[in-house]
Amino acid sequence: MSLNDNLQELIKISAPLWAGEAEVVRTFWDSPIRSLETDLLWLRRQCFKEFNGKGLGEHKDLGIFLGPLTEIIESFPKIDRDVSRHHVADLIETIQDEFTHYCLFADIYDAIRDENTPPLDPHALQIWDEDKYLTDMRIEQNHAHGEIGIRASHFTEGGYCTLFREGMRLKGRGGNDDLIAEACRVIYEDEFGHMLGGIVGLENEEMSAEDYALMTDLVVKQLRARIKMRNAEFSFPLSEERIEAIYNGDIEPEPFDFDKAADVMAAAH
Ligand SMILES: [Fe+2]
Ligand SMILES: [Fe+2]
């Protein structure tokens, strides 16, 4: 399998923005702003995304849990009539993956919180401004552009797994960092596949040059918004000026693992 020129171009344009998101997380780990309090804050926010994040084109915009769950229930009488069994299997896998991610981060939260901090209550979690901006953007694009919007939202899911890749690199530091590294290692494999959900099939498919131009435009808007979403999630380790510089390309692009992508996509066919 080889990726066509349009897809290679999309990846090339995305790579500096993926690197920007990685820089947010990597900077945070060793930043003076890092404390138990800021760790608990990002864990709460990440739990929110894994528990009830929205904007991936899920059923009726109901979020990562209730969207697929509702679709499964509604699909039951239509399985292998109007709805393929493989589609339903994919929905079940989505819930399984994302709820596991929620559990992994919630378990860390409860393991590291101090006695004055109550256990994690997912229903009390709240979105933050920069994440709401990204979510609203995705929902609007998904509705305005149909399949291309949804492909773009999937392709930017996890921002090429940056949080999870940078989290894995904490391995060996001991204590809370080892807990984070282990959770991120498990999630990394799932999220690599979720990102590719946006481009599986596009290597053979006839998508017009205009379609690619539109998808690229949507992806760039989302990836830019992701950097600000992550920066706020992690208590602003990067300055506004640094983010502007990243937007302008002043960064070493994140290398894309074409071999791993080829393996995952071949398995999906
Ligand atoms: Fe996830
Ligand atoms: Fe995911």
CATH code at 20?
1.20.910.10
* Per-residue pLDDT at 62 exceeds 70: yes
The torsion angle over the Cα atoms of residues 106, 108, 113 and 115, rounded to 10 degrees, is: 80
Phi and psi angles of residue 83, each rounded to the nearest 5 degrees, phi first: -125, 130
CA of 97 relative to ligand 2 center, distance in Å: 7
Mean pLDDT within 2-9 = 84
- Nearest-ligand number for the alpha carbon of 102: 1
Give the model confidence (pLDDT) of 11-42 as tens digits. 999 999 999 999 999 999 999 999 999 999 99
Question: Whole-angstrom Cα distance, residue 261 to residue 235?
Answer: 32
- For residue 210, how far is its CA from the centre of ligand 1 (angstroms)? 31
Q: Write out pLDDT tens, residues 135-188.
A: 999 999 999 999 999 999 999 999 999 999 999 999 999 999 999 999 999 999
d(CA 128, CA 118): 20
Q: What spacing in Å lies between the alpha carbon of 151 and ligand 2's midpoint?
A: 13
Output the CA 190–ligand 2 centroid distance in Å.
Answer: 7
CA 81 – ligand 1 centroid, Å: 30
Number of structural domains (the chain) is: 1
Task: Report CA dihedral (101, 231, 157, 15) to the nearest 10 degrees.
Answer: -130
Q: How confident is the model at residue 234 (pLDDT cuts 50, 70, 90)?
A: very high
Q: How far apart are CA 42 and CA 45, in angstroms?
A: 5
Find the 97 Cα to ligand 1 centroid distance in Å: 7
Give whole-number Cα distances, 121 to 36, 44, 125, 234, in Å. 18, 9, 7, 20
- What is the pLDDT at residue 56? 94
Residue 269 has pLDDT above 70, yes or no: no
* Mean pLDDT in residue range 207-230: 95
**Centroid of ligand 2 to alpha carbon of 197 (angstroms):** 10
Query: Is residue 52 a contact partner of residue 64, using CB atoms and an 8 Å limit?
Result: yes
Which amino acid makes up residue 125?
L
- State the SS3 of the chain: CCCCHHHHHHHHHHHHHHHHHHHHHHHHHCCCCCCHHHHHHHHHHHHHHHHHCCCCCCHHHCCCCHHHHHHHHHHHHHECCCECHHHHHHHHHHHHHHHHHHHHHHHHHHHHCCCCCCCCCHHHCCCCHHHHHHHHHHHHHHHHHHHHHHHHHHHCHHHCCHHHHHHHCCCCCCHHHHHHHHHHHHHHHHHHHHHHCCCCCCCCCCCCHHHHHHHHHHHHHHHHHHHHHHHHHCCCCCCHHHHHHHHCCCCCCCCCCHHHHHHHHHHHC
- Ligand 2 centroid to residue 115 C-alpha, Å: 31
Confidence class for position 2, pLDDT limits 50, 70, 90: low
Q: How far is the CA of 56 from the centre of ligand 2 (A)?
A: 9
Residue 203 C-alpha to ligand 2 middle, in angstroms? 22
Under the banding of pLDDT at 50, 70 and 90, the label for residue 1 is: very low
Residue 205 Cα to ligand 1 middle (Å) = 27
Ligand 1 centroid to residue 101 C-alpha, Å: 5
The domain of 41 spans 5-268
